[in-house]
Structure 1
Amino acid sequence: MNEDRIDIKTPEYVSLQFQIAGLGSRTSAFIIDQLILMAFNIAILIIFLIISFGQPDFLVFLDLHSYLIAIIIIGLFFINWGYFFAFEYFSGGRTPGKRMMGIRVIQENGHSITLLSSFIRNLLRIIDSLPSGYFLGILMIFFHSKHKRIGDLVAGTIVVHERKTNRKNKLSPIEKEIQARGLSKNDLVVDEWALKSINKQDWKLIQIYSNRFLQLPLKEREVMTKKIAEILFPKLGLDPHEEDLENKLLVIYLILKEEWEYEL
């Protein structure tokens, strides 16, 4: 399977190896997403029909509200397109279908997909779907050396498999500490927009803090905790003067770890 692997050197000169997602996993993810969208579209249609049939004169209602039908059709188009755009940007390159298949979209430099890349990639689904049934996109994914469709080529993105590691019995010291404190990602609610304001330097800062957390003397740890909270909390919409800063920073580490830390 070496032909399905790719080495990427990030702008930070870190070499990452990914397994490229092929036609099978991408098709399966797309089918799952289409089933979700189909259920939503059918639900909207049923609601509209229920409202329509409740009118005294159904045909007159449709004639008088033809503009409403047009708006619903246009709205469904944008919802069906926006589904992929929004999920890929706000969920780290994963739609529900991609998440279930263990794949995600990233940029060619190894970083998370950007707003512009997600927009371009999904806008060009129109071309990839030509002449019908995503025929052109399927051909591109099958024959391209990196399994890219036209949207990926233009947006500079690539679809890869998630890295899965089996480290249940090999927790790092900080992971053991987090587990001992009973902390989880669900302990802190952070807006997705706020998470997008975090950059590589911010991740390195919280990563270094977490790695040195147990080695620092208590007073030094308190000072560092306050300084890092003052830097990161405003970006995440949190108050740096709240109590329990240590636990909050460790939870932030858990939240960012999934997005920024690559397990080779």
Structure 2
Amino acid sequence: MLEEQVDIRTPEYVSLQFQPAGLGSRAAALMIDQIILGILNILIVVLLVFATTGGNSPFAWYLFDVNSTLWGIAIIGLFVLNWGYFFALEYFWGGKTVGKRLLGIRVMQENGHSVTLLSCFIRNLLRIIDSLPAAYFLGMIMIFLHSKHKRLGDIVSGTIVVHERRVKGKRKEKTIEKEIRQRGLQKEDLSVEEWTLKQLGSKEWSLIKTYANRFSQLPLAKRNHLSKKLADILFPKLGIDMEGKTYEELENTLLLLYVALREEWEIEL
């Protein structure tokens, strides 16, 4: 039986094929996420019960009115937790929540790029509608009927949920990957927070990708000049101090940026 495929054309006019995630895998991922959220919600409520009853029995509900303000804040906090869980993880974790990662699926833009802040916000804001009248009924119906298995949030935000692409066989190591390996560079060596990296968009990725692809071909003098020029553009945006850094240290930092950004922006063909 042939797997259902969807064609995606990137802004670079490259045509890619992905398998859209169907109702089964998306429902299973959601179930895992809801279990995690359920555990967190229960822990918060239990802790709050003990806090508001002063250590008395958690069943002393008549004492709750004494701390009505605290409970009001807690209710707002629980709403933020349950909505923000999906928004934060999908935006900062490459379109994946814990459930999506375990099921091997992810959210992406219809143009093949990672989700933007706006699209992630819109698709998760519309979860409120997709969950109507209960238990994501409307969302499940939409996913089942839509040709690309989209719920309302995906349609409005221009996103699609797909299965992760798996590379069959051993992929040939690129020249830049060999250079990074020989220098002993690891993504963990980059002292930049994940949320800070989100300040770099497609233009910055294009610059760093071009730099990495041309790295081994450039004469030393030109490479040093390009490294300094690129560092002048990117480092201030990330709060990286350039003062006192050698050309080799600049190169290492730029190559680490390439490794970190590649996971989000590069698509295996």
1:209 paired to 2:214:
no
Q: Which residue matches 2:234?
A: 232
Residue 248 (structure 1) aligned to one of 245, 249, 253: 253
Letter in 1 for 2:233: I
Q: How many residues align?
A: 264
Equivalences for residues 192-207 of structure 1 within 5 A: 192-207=194-209
Q: Which stretch has the larger CA shift, 213-222 or 48-57?
A: 48-57
Q: Which residue matches 1:143?
A: 145
- Structure 1, residues 186-218: CA drift from partner, whole Å, max 9, x if none? 111323343222222221221122122222222
| 2:20–2:163 CA contact under 8 A, matched in 1 | yes
Alpha-carbon distance, 1:169 to partner: 5.7
Q: Which residue matches 1:259?
A: 264
- Structure 1, residues 46-98: CA drift from partner, whole Å, max 9, x if none? 21122234357955642211232222122201210111111112222111211
Equivalences for residues 55-204 of structure 1 within 5 A: 55=55, 61-166=63-168, 168=170, 170-204=172-206
Distance 1:137 1:223, change over 3 A: same
Superposed CA RMSD: 2.1
Distance 1:195 1:20, change over 3 A: same
Work out the percentage of aligned pairs sharing the same amino acid.
Answer: 61
Distance 1:167 1:214, change over 3 A: farther
Letter in 2 for 1:24: G
Alpha-carbon distance, 1:111 to partner: 2.1
Letter in 1 for 2:230: I
C-alpha separation between the residues in 2 aligned to 1:24 and 1:189?
39
C-alpha separation between the residues in 1 aligned to 2:118 and 2:219?
44
1:105 match: secondary structure = strand
Distance 1:123 1:206, change over 3 A: same
Letter in 2 for 1:247: N
| 2:3–2:19 CA contact under 8 A, matched in 1 | no
- Structure 1, residues 86-145: CA drift from partner, whole Å, max 9, x if none? 111222211121122221111222222122211221111111112211111111111110
1:263 match: secondary structure = coil
Gaps of 5+ in 2: none
| 1:10–1:111 CA contact under 8 A, matched in 2 | yes
> After TM superposition, what 4+ stretches of structure 1 lie above 6 angstroms from structure 2?
none
1:65 match: secondary structure = helix
Alpha-carbon distance, 1:161 to partner: 1.6
C-alpha separation between the residues in 2 aligned to 1:53 and 1:26?
40
| 1:226–1:240 CA contact under 8 A, matched in 2 | no
Q: TM-score, normalised by structure 1?
A: 0.91
Equivalences for residues 36-47 of structure 1 within 5 A: 36-47=36-47
